[in-house]
């Protein structure tokens, strides 16, 4: 029976899960493929920890270089995470003729565009399904199942840690810092959790999805990114009273005319979605991606976006895809970014100032006559129309929170209005603005 030999870099949370599947599901994998996938070697700096697995027959070492250059390995799985040394090891594995599978969204978002050609030159494959949406095969859906469509929009809850925090803050009135600790203990959070809560992880994933959706190049640094660290339990409650739930969404839309995409809108920020939407029901560490196409209309993919077993499930599916074309070519697979390389184009990222949104505005103001009139008159100057306004009870300090929902306007216009509002003497702290998305189903 044909055999594909795997070398694993990193035996942390995900690496352990991948080893577990390759060992425990060996028989199932062979029955599905008619070929064998064998874990030959694994490298990690810590080989003393008990991972609850029988590694008999697997070469364990602490030297990743020994794996990327080994003669008896056909495919390297990179699960170290981060930019370096992951990038060096992946490049070295490709240079020595090995396929690569990774769960590393940071690597693909930042260095994918230099790694894909290295793989293509050698007829090798890079699989990265686990990098976005953990166990959900959302990129496979986009690249293959939806291949007949021009994609109209992508909306995703792409970070399990943030969704876990927002859910617990809403359901249990839990404290932000405590919930973050819980997410870290469950293995959801990044090594540096600011990547989760400040939206960077979501931006990395969104930039990959957007490029795959629209045939553009991955432009992670250009994604407008705001995290959840300024959201309070009071915001969650105010949004709820107005019929919305706050989710950290990654949003991508194409802009152009006559079917030609001229610019790509990409933004990550806490977003108000209708309480009755499917997206609002996605709780805990679950992720969900809504992809809409011109023929298929709305589709939605849901599942665990983080954690050992779900993420390992996607890694091993990629290994199996590559195995099914092994040896002797990988032509049965769609191109890694869903478009043939020669047709992928540089497309400008749309300036955030041009984005059209509806807004939630939270202000803390002095409780005195004329303040709401002053605020609403600035909004009127900018032709921003209000949908709802709530004034909450006064704080001990004689300040009072005001929450407003607006109709649609451009980000640039809203920012101009907000700077004038913040400059009013009666306004006590920086306004919080959140954006609302009505097109989420």
Contact flag: residue 188 with ligand HSE (CB under 6 A): yes
Measured distance CA(62)–CA(352) in Å, rounded = 45
Candidate segments 58-66, 91-99, 155-163, 271-279, binder of ligand HSE by CB under 6 A: 155-163
Peptide bond into 327 cis (omega under 30): yes
Q: Among residues 201 and 318, whose Cβ is nearest to ligand HSE? A: 201
Using DSSP's 3-state secondary structure scheme, residue 276 falls into coil
Distant-in-sequence, close-in-space partners of 65: CB < 8 Å, separation ≥ 6: 89, 92
| Contact status, residue 152 vs residue 254, Cβ threshold 8 Å | yes
Distant-in-sequence, close-in-space partners of 407: CB < 8 Å, separation ≥ 6: 358, 384, 385, 386, 387
Q: Cβ of residue 419: shortest distance to ligand HSE, in angstroms?
A: 33
| Contact status, residue 361 vs residue 387, Cβ threshold 8 Å | no
- Judged by CB under 6 A, how many residues of this single chain contact ligand HSE? 11
Which x/- pattern over 282-321 shows residues binding ligand HSE (rule: CB under 6 A)? -----------------------xx---------------
Annotated binding site for L-homoserine: 190
Q: Which of 16, 38, 104, 159 binds ligand HSE (CB under 6 A)?
A: 159
Within residues 123-152, the interface with ligand HSE by CB under 6 A covers: 134
Distant-in-sequence, close-in-space partners of 309: CB < 8 Å, separation ≥ 6: 17, 20, 135
181 flagged as catalytic: no
Contact flag: residue 201 with ligand HSE (CB under 6 A): yes
Q: Among residues 37 and 208, whose Cβ is nearest to ligand HSE? A: 208
Catalytic residue among 98, 205, 247, 253: 205
Q: Among residues 189 and 337, whose Cβ is nearest to ligand HSE? A: 189
Contact flag: residue 161 with ligand HSE (CB under 6 A): yes
Contact flag: residue 190 with ligand HSE (CB under 6 A): yes
Residues pairing with 75 in the sheet: 6, 99
| Contact status, residue 435 vs residue 269, Cβ threshold 8 Å | yes
The alpha carbon of 439 is separated from its chain's Cα centroid by a whole number of angstroms, namely 19
Within residues 385-414, the interface with ligand HSE by CB under 6 A covers: none
Nearest to 181, CA basis, from 201, 165, 198: 165
Q: Among residues 190 and 411, whose Cβ is nearest to ligand HSE? A: 190
Q: Among residues 131 and 400, whose Cβ is nearest to ligand HSE? A: 131
Contact flag: residue 179 with ligand HSE (CB under 6 A): no
Q: Which of 81, 160, 270, 338 binds ligand HSE (CB under 6 A)?
A: 160
Q: Within 13 Å, how many C-alpha atoms sit on residue 183's CB side? A: 32
> How is the chain split among helix, strand and coil, in percent rounded to 5?
40, 25, 35
Q: Cβ of residue 162: shortest distance to ligand HSE, in angstroms?
A: 7
Contact residues toward ligand HSE (CB under 6 A) are 134, 159-161, 188-190, 196, 201, 305-306
Question: What amino acid positions are annotated as catalytic residues?
Answer: 205
């Amino acid at each position: 029976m044909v055999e594909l030999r795997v070398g694993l870099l990193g035996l942390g949370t995900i690496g352990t899960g991948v080893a577990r599947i390759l060992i425990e599901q060996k028989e199932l994998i062979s029955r599905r493929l008619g070929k064998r996938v064998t874990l030959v070697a694994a490298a990690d700096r810590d080989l003393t920890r008990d991972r609850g697995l029988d590694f008999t027959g697997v070469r364990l070492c602490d030297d990743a270089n020994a794996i990327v250059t080994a003669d008896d390995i056909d495919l390297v799985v990179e699960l170290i995470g981060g930019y370096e040394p992951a990038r060096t090891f992946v490049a070295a594995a490709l240079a020595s003729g090995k396929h690569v599978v990774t769960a590393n969204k940071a690597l693909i978002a930042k260095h994918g565009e230099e790694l894909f050609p290295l793989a293509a030159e050698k007829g090798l494959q890079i699989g990265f399904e686990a990098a976005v949406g953990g166990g959900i095969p959302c990129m496979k859906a986009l690249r293959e199942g939806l291949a007949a469509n021009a994609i109209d929009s992508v909306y995703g809850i792409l970070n399990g840690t943030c969704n876990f925090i927002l859910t617990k803050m809403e359901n249990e009135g839990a404290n932000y810092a405590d919930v973050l600790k819980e997410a870290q203990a469950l293995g959801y959070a990044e090594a540096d959790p600011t990547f989760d809560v400040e939206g960077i992880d979501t931006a990395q994933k969104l930039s990959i999805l957007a490029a795959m959706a629209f045939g553009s190049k991955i432009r992670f640094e250009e994604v407008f990114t705001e995290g959840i660290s300024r959201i309070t339990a009071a915001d969650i409650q105010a949004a709820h009273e107005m019929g919305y739930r706050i989710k950290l969404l990654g949003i991508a839309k194409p802009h152009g005319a006559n079917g030609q995409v001229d610019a790509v809108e990409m933004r990550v920020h806490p977003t108000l979605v209708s309480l009755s939407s499917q997206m609002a029901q996605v709780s805990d560490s679950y992720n969900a991606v809504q992809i809409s196409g011109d023929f298929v209309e709305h589709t939605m993919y849901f599942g665990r976006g983080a954690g050992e077993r779900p993420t390992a499930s996607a890694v091993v599916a990629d290994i199996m895809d590559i195995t099914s074309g092994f040896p002797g070519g990988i032509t049965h697979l769609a191109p890694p970014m869903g478009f043939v390389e020669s047709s992928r184009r540089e497309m400008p990222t749309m300036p955030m100032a041009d984005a059209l949104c509806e807004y939630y505005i939270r202000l803390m103001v002095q409780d005195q006559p004329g303040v709401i009139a002053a605020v609403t008159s600035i909004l009127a100057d900018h032709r921003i129309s209000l949908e709802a306004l709530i004034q909450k009870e006064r704080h001990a300090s004689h300040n009072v929170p005001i929450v407003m929902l607006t109709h649609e306007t451009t980000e640039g216009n809203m920012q101009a209005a907000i700077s004038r509002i913040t400059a009013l003497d009666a306004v006590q702290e920086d306004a919080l603005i959140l954006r609302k998305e009505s097109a989420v189903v």
